[in-house]
Structure 1
Amino acid sequence: MTASFDEIADNFAFLDEWEDRYRYVIELGKEMPPLDETQKVPATKVEGCASQVWLVPRVDGDGQGARISFDGDSDALIVRGLIAILRALYNGRTAAEIAGIDAHARLGELGLQQHLSAQRSNGLRAMIGRVEAIAAQVREAA
């Protein structure tokens, strides 16, 4: 079962040590199904990440009510976990709802920024940017 973002935040609050939180992020990534190799193409690759990262969007429905979800994968375990957290934050929401999410503030609740390297933080920003760009395309098409 996939945890909601609020459940992830609650679990983070329960874990005192960053090492435990780091392991939790990795576990979230391990629980996520891997992408099929056919989905790991240049069009789904996220540029700006130190690791290999792919995000594959799905749009269910039409118009303003269309719901967006993402599958993703990475060659780095911690990044797979970050993708799982982003999926918990964004999946199943409309493009307008995604536009209204302050991802940096929500992720700030987890205290990730203090514990990620500069390269990982840049990659996380690139993944958020990709999600927001896809949501903007869906909004414009509606």
Structure 2
Amino acid sequence: DDQLKATIKLTPIEPVITETEIILQPIYFEYNKSNITEDGAFELDKLVKVMQDNPKLVILAKSHTDNRGSDTYNLNLSDRRAKSTVQYVISKGIDRARISGKGFGETEPKVDCGQTCTEEQYAQNRRSEFLIVK
């Protein structure tokens, strides 16, 4: 067997901190769900670390949906996603006064593809963003 085997150590990608936002790898949600996935938890742990290292930081978690389903349904779904994101961060020891969440439904798509989105575009629109409030 002439196969070459290599071991590659993957290092987690660090969050990017700008003046206005903490940018993580995307925290995607499954279609129609608001629970934090294992990959999502891995990324949110980075947010928790940034918040632990910067005790004055206050964050707004914005959650978004794709455009399938009614506007009202998506607003409620994104609000549940924002709340589960906030609950996760609080469960890791961050004071609840330092993080809030709001759902924006389908009102701010990352990819504006109308009714002809690919599955990948739908997934990109189902996301959370973390804005620095102060």
Which TM-score tier does this pair reach, normalised by the shorter chain?
Answer: 0.3 to 0.5
Higher helix share: 1
TM-score (normalised: structure 1): 0.31
TM-score (normalised: structure 2): 0.32
Higher Cα Rg, which structure: 2
